[in-house]
Structure 1
């Protein structure tokens, strides 16, 4: 009679072990690549129409030669050309080394995103440095590590990949076609609606640090991982096409890291009217001209974490 409970216990433990192993493999190991169908716009595409008499329909007939682009001015921490300027400084803030990139663009489509292996999926990962090289990026940072989760909005370069809400308190950042940034609670809108309204990229992490020029996080709002001092990656906007990107070190004896409130105060000092926290911790990475500028780490040793995606500016 005692053997039945024993057999039941063994079977239960075996089943529990298999289930746990499957969950861990699905979360961290098993690669899932998804194909997203693109809308066919070939039949609806029409030639541009202009009422300006100085503009001809055929560029070959025009009488004005386009201005020759000037050569970019490049240093170890800056890149200035006709289309954009990137100037990066290193600062010490609250016992933490902070990389600060000031970015000015001539067009919003210069700010791009990319997936690891150019593929949307789960556990499809690579380092920021490798992804930056793949897309010939001048400047790149880690994104929201969307592949770590099964839910949360994912829109990249105007294409909708995922439209599921992560939680009622989850905020997503929107990169609009006019170059402005804002955020929404995912429960209040669909990602499709955002694309229809002109969203180019939507990333899901957070929280929002600054909105309408005011800090919107405080010590009471910081809970769990957000309350701790960690390596951070975040983006802020002074005005459309004028941004600051900040990546801080942390988790080291002489690098304490930043809380989200401290990060918000830093963006406020930079004059940002909007700022949003991206994936941080061991993911926090800034790459410029192929070189990693910060010190990515999770356990004290230098190591670039493989992540799902990057935000970047490519070579002109």
Structure 2
């Protein structure tokens, strides 16, 4: 019996020690595989098949060899390893397969009488077999993990291990063949069962080589190791061989030639489930790596990569306010897919950076810890990034628009809040004083409407017949808008919408102590604020009077000559009761602009009103109209409403000349009009019959006072 008496990573010394074993331990000697085992002639006879999802089969046949290898993708859906329970020992491989329902199985460890494995065995975390010593290695599986423990490492099973099959000796370690040249059982060809793991431990190799006949001569330990290297293994372990060597496939049966002529009853087994669906229970993942590079009031930034999927962008989880699991911590999950040139050569792939704005709800002058975790693409253990945690300390943020530039738009309901994909973590704690400074704008629509014109990639958010351009992908991301929700419409339909100011780059939400949540946004396009209007309350019938209306542009668009007009609005496009046909552009349009009026500036409209000839009163309403179609009273425009700038004028008969007014030369005072005391009637003016000139008024020389008029004493 060959026993390893001493071992280091680079060298092993073997001594002979007789022990009562059914099969001597094996020692590999490094040799070049002959054509009988894996030379060019052998490879010419290779055939590959896929018996189960995630499992490939290599069948290598030469004049002296019959080798079967299962290449198992441990990360394929539904792949899971299954070892023998204590209650299942002492069965043939096919009996074990039928009992457990596995898709493939091979024999396991060496064993003594009573079918007790000579080292550790485990199923579902329940340990049995024999205590570990330095003569046996273990192939172990657990949740998200597969390991091949070298035989010289003596240790109890680790807590993560759930399935274990042992063997001897380790034939390949870290990609290097272990020298067992002092053991004749290793240097002699025998039937062999052996297993290996790839460098990333995500691929399992399970092999059997038939022996003890002239056409199936078996392998040495070195030839086993050489085959494992050829297949891609980095670690490999020899199992019990000889007459025990058996490989069985569900639906096919035993696929090799056991040297006893039939299957041997063995102590334990290694089974493979390959269901094709479900979790890959033993998929080994390398912990993600990365760095939390910086945290400030503009961004939380860094990078992460999962080395198991090095070219795939993995996710990062960020917690502001404590590590994962801290109550009240603001958590984010985002894909680390931003390109960063400094990562390309270091990681072999560029798209692994992340950057996110800190939550505004945590910008309140309180210091908070920021933790970042790289997320395992295989669903295994996640890792906190280097330089995590860092500290965030920010004062309440300033709104992007001042109260003179913007409005507060109420989010109408929780349903609307959800439809816009708003996040409560991003509500800025600015306080009641700041919220109260902003004028109320139109309520936010119940859900976003995204539109593009046919043949044009420009995206618009549409509200109230107004289209507002989205700046690009960054705005789509910041607003969490889905390109799949974009509606394509005819060019003419899109062009018929009013082009407003661009949509904000990102939402800025505020809330005071009350329940209402507001979006700070630009003012509506056409909103106007009344400054002054000197239309008199009384006019005589038929009288013409010049009036002045001053409006301040409180909207977001400039008022441009040729586009914007003051117009009657009660009703729209109907002739005004106070129209002066001689001076108005038309009785449905009152006045136009001479110069552009920018937001915040005032526009002065000078126009003449003329009272109707009949009636006791006249009512006129005025509003702004843009491009003949868009009115300041339209929904979402902010006013004035169609009836928001209305005046009722009392109509009087005659049209008396008030006390202290002079009647100029050449003017006639019509019959029935009174010239009040203190008024002078200039020379050349006629006072018609029936008019009274009050006392104290002078009638100049050359003026005629018609018959029937009284000139009071002293006039």
The alignment's TM-score, normalised by the length of structure 2, stands at: 0.29
1:209 aligns with 2:171: yes
Over 3 Å counting, the alpha-carbon distance change for 1:151 and 1:250 in structure 2 is closer
1:95 aligns with 2:64: yes
- Asked if 1 retains the 8 angstrom alpha-carbon contact of 2:135 and 2:168, the reply is no
Task: Give the C-alpha shift of residue 127 in structure 1.
Answer: 1.1
In structure 1, which of residues 130, 141, 152 is the aligned counterpart of residue 119 of structure 2? 152
- Once the two structures are superposed, residues 249-282 of structure 1 have per-residue CA deviations (whole angstroms, 9 ceiling, x without a partner) of 0011211110111100110111111111111111
Structure 2: segments with no counterpart, 5+ residues = 1-19, 23-47, 276-715
- Asked if 1 retains the 8 angstrom alpha-carbon contact of 2:105 and 2:271, the reply is yes
Task: Report the Cα distance in structure 2 between the residues aligned to 1:269 and 1:150, rounded to whole angstroms.
Answer: 30
SS at match of 1:282: helix
Task: Give the C-alpha shift of residue 113 in structure 1.
Answer: 1.2
1:313 aligns with 2:272: yes
Partner of 1:12: none
Task: Give the C-alpha shift of residue 142 in structure 1.
Answer: 0.9
Task: Report the Cα distance in structure 2 between the residues aligned to 1:274 and 1:185, rounded to whole angstroms.
Answer: 12
Over 3 Å counting, the alpha-carbon distance change for 1:296 and 1:213 in structure 2 is same
Over 3 Å counting, the alpha-carbon distance change for 1:168 and 1:138 in structure 2 is closer
1:78 aligns with 2:50: yes
Task: Give the C-alpha shift of residue 183 in structure 1.
Answer: 1.3
Task: Report the Cα distance in structure 2 between the residues aligned to 1:295 and 1:234, rounded to whole angstroms.
Answer: 16
Task: Report the Cα distance in structure 1 between the residues aligned to 2:250 and 2:233, rounded to whole angstroms.
Answer: 25
Task: Report the Cα distance in structure 2 between the residues aligned to 1:307 and 1:79, rounded to whole angstroms.
Answer: 25
- Once the two structures are superposed, residues 100-149 of structure 1 have per-residue CA deviations (whole angstroms, 9 ceiling, x without a partner) of 1111133797111124xx616xxx52211111011112111111144545
Over 3 Å counting, the alpha-carbon distance change for 1:131 and 1:246 in structure 2 is same
- Asked which structure has the greater CA Rg, the reply is 2
- Asked if 1 retains the 8 angstrom alpha-carbon contact of 2:188 and 2:220, the reply is yes
Flag as ranges the 4+ runs of structure 1 deviating above 4 A. Answer: 145-151
- Once the two structures are superposed, residues 287-314 of structure 1 have per-residue CA deviations (whole angstroms, 9 ceiling, x without a partner) of 112411100113xxx2111112221123
1:226 aligns with 2:170: no
Partner of 2:87: 119
Q: Greater relative contact order (Cα 8 A, min sep 6): structure 1 or 2?
A: 1
Where do residues 126-275 of structure 1 align in structure 2 (5 Å cutoff)? 126-146=91-111, 148-149=115-116, 151-162=118-129, 164-165=131-132, 167-185=133-151, 188-191=154-157, 194=158, 196=159, 198-218=160-180, 220-221=181-182, 223-238=183-198, 239-275=200-236
Structure 1: segments with no counterpart, 5+ residues = 1-23, 28-75
Task: Report the Cα distance in structure 2 between the residues aligned to 1:288 and 1:150, rounded to whole angstroms.
Answer: 23
Root mean square deviation, CA, Å: 2.8
Task: Give the C-alpha shift of residue 77 in structure 1.
Answer: 4.6
Task: Give the C-alpha shift of residue 164 in structure 1.
Answer: 1.7
How many correspondences in the alignment?
225
Over 3 Å counting, the alpha-carbon distance change for 1:140 and 1:212 in structure 2 is same
The alignment's TM-score, normalised by the length of structure 1, stands at: 0.63
